[in-house]
Amino acid sequence: MSEKETLTQSGHLPVASPDLVAARAEGGRWGLLGLSPALADLVGVDPQAVPAAGFERLFGDTVPPLPDLAAEVLERDLPLGGIRVRFAPNTILEAEVRPGGLTGDFRARTVLFFFRPAPAAEAAEVHGMRGASPAMREVFRKIARYAPTDAPVVVTGETGTGKELVAHALHAAGSRGDGPWVAVNCSAISEELLESELFGHEKGAFTGAVRTHRGRFERADGGTLFLDEIGEMPLRTQAKLLRVLEEKRIERVGAEQEREIDVRVVCATNVPLERSVGEGRFRADLYHRLAVLRIHLPPLRDRPEDLPLLVDYFLDTFNRKYDRRIIRLTPEALALLRSYLWPGNIRELRNVLERVYVETGTEVIGARAFADWIRERREFLPGDWRPAAATGSRAAIAPPWPLPSQQRLIASPAGDLPEAELVGGRPGRGPRSTRPAELDADEIKNAYRVAGGNLTAAARLLGVHRATLYRYMERLGLDREDMEK
């Protein structure tokens, strides 16, 4: 793949050939115009036989998705550089993305991708968040880009991934950083009180209103209002919120005059708002007003390289909190933590580490210190930790883990040692191996549905490389529409 890229003075094709060329007409779908042999080999396709419509199919599941980067380049008409992209669990490349001008027929605009081996990852820290993974670097990049604006932002992610930290980072890094920061959990306040809590009320407006109350919008004037669990907001309150966002004015309950406000709104949700709109539980007009910008926080299981960084961070935190000194975890203990699916994400990791920290009297924590925790986790059957388990049919942002036919969240090999073997492969298989896969259409469809349409996650559930999954899809004549039936 190309090591150096330079554009000609005319702004057309660069001197060094791009590894990937994609094109999109105004309002149309992406087309794939070119693919280097090295990149084709990486994704397991024949570069001479790749269909023009294969761009989103082949590269929509990278982290970050290549179609998203291409769309951003077209929107800004500026190049992006130094983007770390994960193609497979052990394959990370550094990308440079450039606008490439018009196609030969002048009907579409092109985007050029250049890839090179990614340098050793360095940990980055942004407002209390740490990460070296491509997914977290993309989060940090979006925070830096979105913070200076006043546009609303929706932060998505599973419970425990740190959505409020992202919202606070957007506030602190922007022009409103010196203004007030106000947060409210929309699911923690009853429907009757939420409207008053958000917009305020006048004295005597209702029974029990013994004094005038300034709502969260007024308190956030000149700053940022964070609406957590926005998907739980009642429809009646949604209607009033939409009006406030459109007119930038509020009216207290029982008041006769409106008040102007200057507030940036950042929302968070762990349920897909799109589905809530389809089910009639969330207003479509409010959704379009809020979802101007979006940041998705990856689950901890999808960023394993960040786990040691987080462990070190929490150990330092506990050393200061308890005035003790624990240096590190042993390699066996870290391997144990990597083998767990972490349904509670970073919040669960912190709680587990604090428990073991308190119970440990040595300067190094070994795998045996987690024995009681392991025994407790083995009591849970598959499916008990699904994010939607506590909310009935309400779907979560991320696919349920593990599959109904999978092993428990954590399982150990024979013997009494608490080291765990990786879970997430196919039933009856250990971690991914070099043995030929034997997949049928039903298995692939099931994994695709459980993975929420994410082919990379589906391949991981099946215990195969993504390129292997693509080959089976082509052999069985499956496409995304077939698998969604």
Range with the lowest mean pLDDT among 92-106, 161-175, 250-264, 400-414?
400-414
The secondary structure of residue 17, as a DSSP letter, is: P
Sign of the torsion formed by the C-alpha atoms of 9, 10, 16 and 19? positive
Domains assigned to the chain: 20-117 (3.30.450.20), 129-296 (3.40.50.300), 301-483 (1.10.8.60)
| Mean pLDDT calculated for residue range 347-362 | 93
The whole-angstrom separation of Cα 155 and Cα 149 is 15
| Mean pLDDT calculated for residue range 250-270 | 86
Position 210 scores a pLDDT of 56
Position 207 scores a pLDDT of 61
Position 125 scores a pLDDT of 85
**What are residue 22's DSSP bridge partners?**
32, 111
Higher pLDDT, 151 or 374: 151
User: Above pLDDT 70, what percent of the chain?
Assistant: 82
pLDDT tens-digit readout, 5-37: 333 333 344 447 899 999 998 878 899 999 999
Higher pLDDT, 170 or 45: 170
The candidate with the shortest Cα–Cα distance to 80, out of 55, 54, 113, 50, is: 113
Q: Mean pLDDT in the chain?
A: 80
199 CB-contact burial (10 Å; exposed 0-12 / middle 13-18 / buried 19+): buried
Can you read off the two tokens belonging to residue 402?
A: 């593990």
Residue with tokens 């554009």: 7
Position 67 scores a pLDDT of 93
Strand-by-strand arrangement of the 181-185 sheet = 181-185, 224-228, 264-269, 153-156, 293-296
Higher pLDDT, 193 or 427: 193
pLDDT score of 374 more than 80: yes
**What are residue 125's DSSP bridge partners?**
130
Q: What is the 3-state secondary structure (H, E, C) of 189-206?
A: CCHHHHHHHHHCECCCCC
- 345-359 and 371-378 are packed helices; what angle lies between their axes, rounded to 10 degrees? 140
Higher pLDDT, 199 or 407: 199
The whole-angstrom separation of Cα 341 and Cα 281 is 30
Q: What is this structure's pTM?
A: 0.72
User: Above pLDDT 90, what percent of the chain?
Assistant: 42
Position 385 scores a pLDDT of 45
Higher pLDDT, 386 or 299: 299
In 389-463, which residue ranges form alpha helices assigned H by DSSP? 441-450, 455-462
Give, in order, the Cα–Cα distances in Å from 326 to each of 225, 340, 358, 362, 364. 38, 22, 10, 7, 6
Q: How far apart are the first and last CA of the chain?
A: 38
pLDDT tens-digit readout, 189-245: 887 788 888 888 777 566 666 577 788 999 999 999 999 999 999 998 999 999 999
For β-strands 129-131 and 124-126, DSSP reports them as antiparallel
pLDDT tens-digit readout, 102-143: 988 888 999 999 999 988 777 888 888 989 999 999 999 999
The whole-angstrom separation of Cα 315 and Cα 47 is 48
Position 209 scores a pLDDT of 64
Position 459 scores a pLDDT of 79
pLDDT score of 92 more than 70: yes
Band (97; pLDDT cuts 50, 70, 90):
very high
Residue 172 φ/ψ, nearest 5 degrees: -70, -35
* Residue 26: HSE in the Cβ half-sphere, 13 Å Cα cutoff: 3
pLDDT tens-digit readout, 448-466: 877 777 787 777 777 677 7
Position 380 scores a pLDDT of 59
The secondary structure of residue 403, as a DSSP letter, is: -
The enclosing H or E element of 96 equals strand 91-102
